[in-house]
Amino acid sequence: MSSDDRGLIVLDQVRKVFTTDEVETHALAGIHMQIRQGEYVSINGPSGCGKSTLLSIVGLLDTPTEGSYVLNGQPVQALTLSQRARIRNLEIGFIFQNFNLIGDLSVYENVELPLTYRRMPSAERKERVKQALDRVEMSHRMKHFPSQLSGGQQQRVAVARALVGSPSVLLADEPTGNLDSKNGEAVMTLLDELHQGGATICMVTHDPRYATYAQRQIILFDGQIVDENEAAA
């Protein structure tokens, strides 16, 4: 069955328990979630409800304590660390609240970095980086360093880095969290344009204004999905 039939991302009865000093914290409790190819989904809820934990599992940065996770038709919860790293590089584009750009690399080099891990030929890397920076309107800053950019510009570069490998899904963790309202709106407009162009997006946000950009809102509370809302047509 293809990912279009069942979903690009399929989580079934996913639980996550953190144990410290013999104290168990149930971060996620029986999550069932599907995201289809080309869908734009926001995961909303208050601080501490499990949003970032859920996104970390979807992004293969963490593993569930129980339950199954299928990404693009492939079960992934039992993969080795190296297998997970390879799939992350090929299938997932990350956009972080803190941008996570490398300060001593130029804009061009930051965007190129995920492609170097694929041992992609230089000419192909160059073309992909140019296309990604064009999409976020940052080609004119490709020789600059992150410290020479505004917060909004840094986030645009981070979006380009997420896009450059043509991932199956973009994961955005509070992408407007470190931006003022004007730059926040600009980044959300950019994500909306990418979705209109066919991108699959899963975004974590605590801001109800930005959640409305998504087609579907998944509401988390105490590690459980308590509601789902479809956007009005």
CATH number for the domain including 54?
A: 3.40.50.300
Q: What is the pLDDT of residue 6?
A: 61
Q: Say yes or no to pLDDT of 84 above 70.
A: yes
Domain total in the chain? 1
Say if 140 falls within a structural domain. Answer: yes
Say if 152 falls within a structural domain. Answer: yes
- What percentage of the chain has pLDDT greater than the value 70? 97
**Number of Cβ atoms within 10 Å of the Cβ of 204:** 26
Say if 143 falls within a structural domain. Answer: yes
Confidence of residue 1 (pLDDT cuts 50, 70, 90): very low
Q: Return the half-sphere exposure (C-beta side, CA atoms, 13 A cut-off) of residue 226.
A: 11
* For residues 215-221, average pLDDT: 95
Say if 69 falls within a structural domain. Answer: no
Read off the pLDDT of residues 25-35 as tens digits, 9 standing for 90 and up: 899 999 999 99
Say if 25 falls within a structural domain. Answer: no
Say if 31 falls within a structural domain. Answer: no
Pair 191, 207: CB distance under 8 Å: no
* For residues 212-219, average pLDDT: 95
pTM: 0.90
* For residues 216-233, average pLDDT: 88
Say if 193 falls within a structural domain. Answer: yes
216 lies in which domain range? Answer: 38-64+78-230
Backbone angles phi, psi at 139, to 5 degrees: -60, -30
Length of the chain: 233
Read off the pLDDT of residues 41-60 as tens digits, 9 standing for 90 and up: 999 998 889 999 999 999 99
Q: What is the pLDDT of residue 3?
A: 43
The mean pLDDT value of the chain amounts to 92
Say if 136 falls within a structural domain. Answer: yes
Instruction: Give just the sign of the alpha carbon dihedral 158, 162, 163, 169.
Output: negative
DSSP one-letter string for 63-113: --SEEEEEETTEE-TT--HHHHHHHHHHHEEEE-TT----TTS-HHHHHHH
Q: Which of 6, 73, 87, 84 is CA-nearest to residue 39?
A: 6
- What percentage of the chain has pLDDT greater than the value 90? 85
